[in-house]
């Protein structure tokens, strides 16, 4: 990240440098073979951060809502929160070593219906503060997840978008519209006509 992979990637694309060749190696005239750069089991930054997928998603959300990324918040289910953050989204979820207890309490309200399925009121972990949308095993089906969230708590925190690795079964039940699958990501948008304060 410190070497600005996005900028370097753009430069490499414009110069027609093969993906497996580093910018420095190309400038120095090195003949880099693909097997010297990547090894089995390694993931390229482009693949990990889904750089082909997320720009399309951002354009779709903006076209649908007219909102810029700074105008709303997101959460991710089954995806690391850093993916959304890397692409400029303001994410409510995070993995932290420290954080304000008041924020954690507010965030946990979103997943309260899922915790209730397991007779719990919040996460059990101590130490690392894992601000993730909790999904009970009881909500997991072969074809997706039957998610129950406190949509009002999500809305009150500025939330409008859910990114999920697994499809959410019947998202309309929790007042979300399905915007489709993009790469590995299923995208859900809070119904623009819905308000919990009616």
DSSP E strand stretches across the chain: 73-77, 90-91, 94-96, 129-131, 140-141, 144-145, 159-164, 176-182, 185-190
Give CA–CA dist 155/113, Å, rounded. 15
Give CA–CA dist 30/148, Å, rounded. 54
Q: How many CB atoms lie within 10 A of CB 93?
A: 24
Q: So what's the pLDDT on residue 1?
A: 43
DSSP E strand stretches across 132-173: 140-141, 144-145, 159-164
Give CA–CA dist 100/189, Å, rounded. 28
Tens digit of pLDDT at every position of the chain (198 positions): 445 656 777 787 888 887 767 777 777 777 666 544 445 556 677 778 888 899 999 999 999 999 999 999 999 999 999 899 999 999 999 887 777 888 989 999 999 999 999 999 988 765 556 789 999 999 999 999 999 999 999 999 999 999 999 999 999 999 999 999 999 999 999 998 888 865
Give CA–CA dist 4/6, Å, rounded. 5
60 burial level (CB within 10 Å; 0-12, 13-18, 19+)? middle
Question: DSSP code of 39?
Answer: -
SS3 76: strand
Buried b (16+ CB within 10 A) or exposed e, 15-24: eebeeebeee
- Cα diameter, the chain: 65
């Amino acid at each position: 990240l410190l070497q600005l992979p996005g900028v370097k990637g753009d430069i490499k694309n414009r110069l027609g440098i093969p993906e497996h060749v580093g910018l420095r190696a190309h400038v120095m005239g090195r003949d880099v073979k693909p097997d010297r750069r990547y090894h089995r089991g390694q993931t390229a930054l482009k693949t990990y951060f889904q750089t082909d997928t997320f720009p399309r998603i951002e354009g779709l959300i903006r076209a649908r809502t007219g909102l810029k990324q700074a105008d709303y918040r997101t959460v991710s289910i089954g995806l690391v929160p850093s993916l959304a953050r890397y692409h400029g989204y303001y994410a409510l979820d995070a993995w932290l070593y420290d954080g304000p207890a008041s924020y954690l309490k507010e965030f946990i309200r979103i997943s309260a219906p899922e915790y209730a399925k397991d007779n719990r009121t919040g996460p059990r972990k101590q130490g690392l503060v894992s601000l993730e949308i909790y999904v009970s095993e009881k909500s997991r089906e072969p074809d997706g997840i039957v998610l129950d969230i406190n949509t009002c708590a999500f809305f009150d925190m500025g939330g409008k978008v859910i990114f999920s690795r697994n499809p959410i079964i019947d998202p309309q039940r929790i007042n979300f519209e399905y915007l489709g699958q993009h790469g590995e990501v299923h995208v859900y948008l809070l119904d623009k006509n819905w308000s919990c304060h009616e």
